[in-house]
Amino acid sequence: MSDDIVVDQPPVLDIGALPTLEDYGYDGGRMAFRRFCARAFQPGGPRFLQGDGGALVVFRHADLRALAARPELSALAPNQLFPGLLGAEPLEEKPVGFAIADLIKNQLFGANGVLNATLRKVLLNQIGPKPTAARADAARQIAGRILDDIPLGEPVDLVERIAEPLIGLYWGGLIGMTDAEALGAATEARKMTPMLFLRPDADGIGQADAAAKAYRGLVEGAGQRALEAGGCPFVSDMARDLAAVDIADDLDHGGYVPKTVGAFLAGNLFDGFHTAALAAANTIRTLMDHPEVTDRLRAEPEKTAAAVSECLRLEPPVIHLNRVVSADLDYDGRTIPAGTRVTMMWGAANRDPDAFPNPDAFDLDRPQQGSTTFGGGAHICPGRFVAGLLARSLAESLIERRIEVQAAGDADDWIGNHAMCQLRRLPVILERRPG
C-alpha cells in the first residue's frame, strides 16, 4: 500500500461552455459597454463570460479585485502583445506595426514581477501622489490659460481644443517640450487610437504606426534634449533611477528595460497623453449631464475630487485590459490553466451593484473605495494621480470662471469597436454665468 497522499485537483474551468460577450451585446466602445452592463448585472446574470479566442472575461467587482491580486495573473509581455514584430535581428525595412511595438515595449505595462515593481518605482518617484499634488497649482494655471483662450458663445471641440491641450501642455512642461511639440504629441497620441480597437484594420494600424513614430520622435527627443541640457529634475532624476535598474530583458514574460530615459518617457507617457485626455473629456461630458452636481460644486468646491471620481466611475476611460495566466491558477474551486488569456473589464466593475448600489446614479457622497477606474493589483495604472489632478483642475477652472459647458451638437459621438470609452469629438459652447 502506497504512503503517497493523493490530493484532489480542482476541476478546470470550462471557458468554452460559458456565454459569450457577444451574447451580452458587447462588441467594443462605450455604447456597447453600457448595453453590456445593463444586461450582465441583471439578477441571475453570469459569473464569467467567454471572449474572443477562448479568453476568460472577468467583469464582476469581487472577482476582478481578487484575481488582480494573484501573482499568476500577468501582464502581456512585449512578444505576447506583438508576436513576430520584435525579433532579435533588426530589419532594414520595418513592417507595419513595428513602430507601435517598438514604442510600447518600453511601457511598464508589459513588465512582470521584479521588473514591474522596479520600473513602477522609477515612475512613481516622479508622478506618484506627493509630486503630483505639488504640481496642482501648475495644472490649474494650464487649465485656466486654455479656457481663457476659448471664445465664449462659439462652438468648439472640447476634445481637441481643451482636453488634449491640457494634458499635452502639462506633460510637455515637465519634460521641456515647446508648446508646439506638446500639442503635436497630444495629437499624435490620439491618432494612435486604432491600435486599441478590438478588430483593427490594415488602414487603421498603418495610421497608428505612423503616429507612433511621430509621437515617439517628439517625446523621446524632448526627453533626451532635457537630459543633455540639464536643469530638468523630472527627467534627470528619472534617468538616474532608470540607469540603476540591473535586470535582464525578457520579452517573452518579464518585460523590457528601456535603454534611454527618452524611450522610457515616450513609452509610458503614451497613456499619460491619451488616457488622461479621455479622463478629462469624460469628466466634463458627465458633468454636462448633471448640472445639479456643478451647482453643488460651486458651493462646495472641496468636493470636486469626489465629483471627478464619480464621473470616471460612470464614464471610465478604460473598459478592459488583457492579462494572461502565467501558471495554473486555482480560484474559487476551479483551475484556470496557464496560458489562458483573461479580459479584465475594469470599467464594468464600477457598475456592479454589489459594489456600488444604484450604480447608474451620480452620487457625490458615494464612497469611492474599491473603484476600479484605473485597474487594480500589481499592475494598477501609475498615472492615475495625474489623470485625476488634470480632470479636477479643468473642472475647478470652469467653476472658478463661472463657465457653463453646453452641448453644441452630438455629445455622444463615442468611438465603437474600442477597448476604451473615447469621444471622437465633443462639440460644446462655453457661456459665462452671471454673477
**What is the reported pLDDT for 94?**
86
Quick check: 429 and 408 in contact, CB under 8 A?
yes
- Joined together, the cell numbers standing for residue 148 give 481663457
Helix (H) or strand (E) holding 335: strand 334-336
Average pLDDT over residues 169-191: 98
Structural domain includes residue 176: yes
- How confident is the model over 215-248, as pLDDT tens digits? 999 999 999 999 999 999 999 999 999 999 999 9
Closest CA to 251 of 98, 89, 112: 112
- How confident is the model over 351-395, as pLDDT tens digits? 999 999 999 999 999 988 899 999 999 999 999 999 999 999 999
Structural domain includes residue 95: yes
**What is the reported pLDDT for 7?**
58
The count of domains in the chain is 1
**What is the reported pLDDT for 382?**
96
CA-to-CA separations, 33 to 63, 117, 276, 284, in angstroms, rounded = 18, 31, 20, 19
Q: Is residue 127 pLDDT above 60, yes or no?
A: yes
Q: Is residue 434 pLDDT above 90, yes or no?
A: no
pLDDT band at 260 (very low <50, low <70, confident <90, very high): very high
Average pLDDT over residues 125-151: 98
Structural domain includes residue 9: no
For residue 105, the domain's CATH number is: 1.10.630.10
pLDDT band at 92 (very low <50, low <70, confident <90, very high): confident
Using a cut of 0.85, tell me whether the model's pTM lies above it: yes
| Measured distance CA(433)–CA(435) in Å, rounded | 6
Structural domain includes residue 10: no
Range of the domain at 382: 15-432
**β-strands 341-344, 56-58: how paired?**
parallel
Structural domain includes residue 8: no
Structural domain includes residue 2: no
DSSP letter string over 47-112?
SEEE-GGGPEEE-SHHHHHHHHT-TTEEEPPHHHHSTTTS-SSPPSSPPTTHHHHHHHTTSGGG--
